[in-house]
């Protein structure tokens, strides 16, 4: 993951968020979960920033979109309690997605500041052309 690609991803996130009429925070991490680039749109909630980074971290650590965990971590479901793993650092609702290039995990993207559905849509928009650009 390089800075140029991370910035392009974040531009697409911001454009999509503006189209939805929302403000978000977003972060791109490399495969080692180190921040490469972040944004906080004007007016975005302060708490959305660390959540965006945690969503990106979860996507990198478990190589799956965070929204994939929602159903299976509900009370009584097979992975109940997973959201409290790692001192609560695992996010189990939409907005985090792994970034893959040529079939290899290269980082993660996290978006937060709106509903889980909107955050996930912004993340998908941000990463939509990522693998194709490689």
Reading the chain (134 residues) residue by residue, the pLDDT tens digits are 999 999 999 999 999 999 999 999 999 999 999 999 999 999 999 999 999 999 999 999 999 999 998 888 888 888 888 888 877 789 989 999 999 999 999 999 999 999 999 999 999 999 998 875 55
Rounded to the nearest angstrom, the gap between the alpha carbon of residue 69 and the centroid of all alpha carbons in its chain is: 13
Give the C-alpha separation, 20 to 108, whole Å. Answer: 22
Q: How far is CA 42 from CA 14, 16, 54, 82, 113, in A?
A: 11, 15, 20, 33, 11
Q: Indicate the domain borders of the chain.
A: 3-133
Token reading at 84: 């409290």
> CA 105 to CA 115: how far, in whole Å?
26
CATH 3.40.50.620 is held by the domain 3-133 = no
Contact 4, 39 (CB under 8 A): no
Tell me the pTM.
Answer: 0.93
């Amino acid at each position: 993951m390089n800075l140029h690609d991370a910035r392009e991803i974040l531009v697409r996130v911001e454009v999509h968020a503006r189209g939805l009429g929302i403000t978000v925070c977003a972060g791109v991490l490399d495969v080692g979960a180190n921040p490469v680039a972040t944004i906080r749109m004007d007016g975005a909630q302060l708490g959305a920033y660390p959540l965006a980074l945690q969503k990106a971290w979860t996507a990198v650590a478990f190589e799956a979109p965070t929204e994939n965990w929602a159903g299976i971590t509900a009370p009584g479901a097979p992975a109940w309690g997973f959201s409290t793993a790692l001192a609560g650092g695992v996010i189990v609702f939409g907005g985090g997605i792994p970034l893959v290039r040529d079939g290899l995990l290269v980082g993660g993207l996290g978006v937060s500041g709106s509903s889980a559905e909107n955050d996930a849509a912004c993340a998908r928009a941000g990463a939509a052309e990522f693998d194709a650009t490689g």
